[in-house]
Chains A and B, each alone.
Chain A
Amino acid sequence: MISLAGRDIMHAWGKFVFTGVGLGLLIGITLSMAGIYRGMVDDAKVLLDNSSADLWVVQKDTLGPYAEPSSIYDDTWRSIRGMPGVARTANVTYLTMQVRQGEHDVRTMVTGVTAGEPGTPGWPPYLVAGRQITRGHYEAVADIASGFALGDRLQIRRNHYTVVGLTRRMVSSGGDPMVFIPLKDAQEAQFLKDNDAIHQQQRRTAANPAFNRPQVPGLLDAVIASQSINPYVNAVLVQIESGHRAEDVAESIRRWKRLTVYTRSQMEEILVGKLIATAAKQIFMFLVILSVVSSAIVAFIIYTLTLGKIREIAVLKLIGTKNRTIVALIMQQSIALGVIGFVVGKITATLLMAPIFPKYVLLEPLDSIIGFFAVMVICILASIIAIRAALKVDPAEAIGG
């Protein structure tokens, strides 16, 4: 027996290739969508991995520091440092903002890291170029995705920083490249006001009789000084001594310090389950819509091709072709369309779409396999309408009136 489906496809290959490519672009978008979601999850994991922390200590009852604002005193780390099971602690600040370089500015997540040696929590664990921050002020390590280069001068608020090192794949959960600067600078940047605002505040303070008391010399100066420093950080990153369980240490910090503490797995749950949940839902909706559109296209094309063959199908039935053979003819064509579409889609997603998307697109082999089977199921379901039409054809039609 010969493959009727194969022969028909060879005969009308132009139609198949054309439709297959169109379907393929849709499948490519679908795979890229899934890849964007995977990329977001992966970015979140990399963000957590690269902070080299076992615990995140944040403001009580917040989902900080990534999913909600959190601020705690910048000396909290000292008391945590002394607790059993704690190996290292470090303050950290995160602030998403525009960073200016020359003519243009880039949206980044400015991260303030505690001075120390490599391996300090919050520090980028490896660099692709240059060196880590060594001076206490005005040096920066930027992610390569920001487009900054070694030696660039960055402007963050009123201060200028020199790029001394570059990282790769260090982005916020929103996909913004990270720029690391010394903690003190970052604390200042979070609260730094322009000159006018500072003068304004000083004038208000001076005008307040409670602070400006001639009989207490130095009070006004002290108040103004306290107003201009920022004693807060967003979180304390904690590394645990080996032999201790993260959850145990977290529990004792929670109990004694009245702070909220998250372990690595809880943090991942917050990032994936809360922070990118909306984006994930949106992507899921896109996947649903794209699947529906793809099914409609396949169903329409296969149905049209089948309607164009009604007379041939009547002849085939008249000369004794089994229904099974006719069903196979239509279903195989539908599957062939799906295979062409999937191959085109996989190629476009890998070679064309993933490289040009601004966000990290992670094409997981498992997603491709699931995608392939989804396409097959869609194609088989989409061929049902055409198959019903074909089975209804009366062999008597071949004889005519």
Chain B
Amino acid sequence: MGKGILIEGLKKRYGSGDTAVDALKGVDMQVAPGEVVGLVGPSGSGKSTLLKALGAVIEPTGGRMTLGGEVIYDNGWKVKDLRALRRDKIGFIFQAPYLIPFLDVTDNVALLPMLAGIPNAEARKRAVELFKALDVEPRAKAMPSQLSGGEQQRVAIARGLVNRPPVILADEPTAPLDSERALAVIRMLNDMARKFETAIIVVTHDEKIIPTFKRIYHIRDGVTYEEAGEGRSFD
């Protein structure tokens, strides 16, 4: 489906003049379809800035980004409707689940296909299919507040996956989970990546999951360094 993520010389400068901060100083990164890579780095190194630029919620100040084979940024946005881009091409998974409290579990997930114009029944069917894979199907009719933290996070993951985006950006997705559940989430992301040809970036400094990545990008002072990971499998 997708053609992965390609980032070339991406720059982001906050502010201008004396107070300018160069958060990204020329980031290069490549994630193949079906691959899950880790992005680790100390606080203030530019991880969130990179995710925001990739997620098209802040505008970079230079470089090039290609998502799913489409150049979305080349020293300027190449797509007009950034919301539609986010809706159709990018799945977001946050540190906190951030579910919509007034929608039940199914509609929290089905909302995304609905926003893309898919009929309600079809959208819900897609959501429920994912719940089977994520083992939250029995809670499909529950409200988010009735779920445990781990269940909420799995619903949030389903939301990130439901539109089958070519790219998933996950920011500390396992922070609130114990090590068993954290590993289960990573396994699931790997399964999804393989199944739907999704390119996934996981920002983390969770020691429990770092050994699972085959490739890891380290980021420091706005520059990335690639490193081979242990790629430990989980059986």
Q: Which residues of A are at the interface with B, using a C-beta cutoff of 8 A?
A: 1-2, 4, 7-8, 10-12, 311-312, 315-322, 325, 394-396, 398-401
Contacts and interface: CB of A to CB of B under 8 A. Distances in A.
Given A2-B111, A395-B57, A396-B57, A319 B94 contact: no
Interface stretch (B72-80, B83-91, B227-235): B83-91
Q: For A2, A322, A325, which residue has the most chain B Cβ atoms within 10 angstroms? A: A2
Contacts of A11: 101-102, 143
B48 A320 contact: no
A320 B51 contact: no
B87 A320 contact: yes
A399 B51 contact: yes
A2 B86 contact: no
B159 interface: yes
A322 B52 contact: no
Contact of A320 (B83, B100, B171): B83
Q: For A312, A316, A400, which residue has the most chain B Cβ atoms within 10 angstroms? A: A400
Given A319-B86, A320-B116, 16 more contacts: A1-B114, A1-B120, A2-B107, A4-B103, A7-B102, A312-B100, A318-B55, A319-B115, A320-B83, A322-B115, A398-B57, A398-B92, A399-B48, A399-B52, A399-B55, A399-B92
Contacts of A322: 83, 115
Nearest to B86: A320
B58 interface: yes
B52 A396 contact: yes
Interface string B50-84: 01100101100000000000000000000000011
A319 B112 contact: yes
Contacts of A401: 48
B107 A399 contact: no
B30 interface: no
11 contacts: A7-B103, A11-B101, A11-B143, A317-B83, A319-B92, A319-B115, A320-B86, A320-B116, A396-B52, A398-B57, A398-B94
B114 A2 contact: yes
Contact of A8 (B102, B112, B120, B143): B102
B94 A399 contact: yes
Interface in B92-126: 92, 94-95, 98, 100-103, 107, 111-112, 114-116, 120
B30 to A, nearest CB: 22
B92 to A, nearest CB: 6
B57 A394 contact: yes
B19 to A, nearest CB: 18
A75 to B, nearest CB: 81
A325 B117 CA distance: 13
A320 B84 contact: yes
A107 B102 CA distance: 59
A312 B101 contact: yes
Nearest to B103: A7
Interface string B212-225: 00000000000000
Contact of A400 (B48, B83, B84, B159): B48
Contacts of B48: 399-401
A319 B57 contact: no
Contacts of A400: 48, 94-95, 171
B171 A399 contact: yes
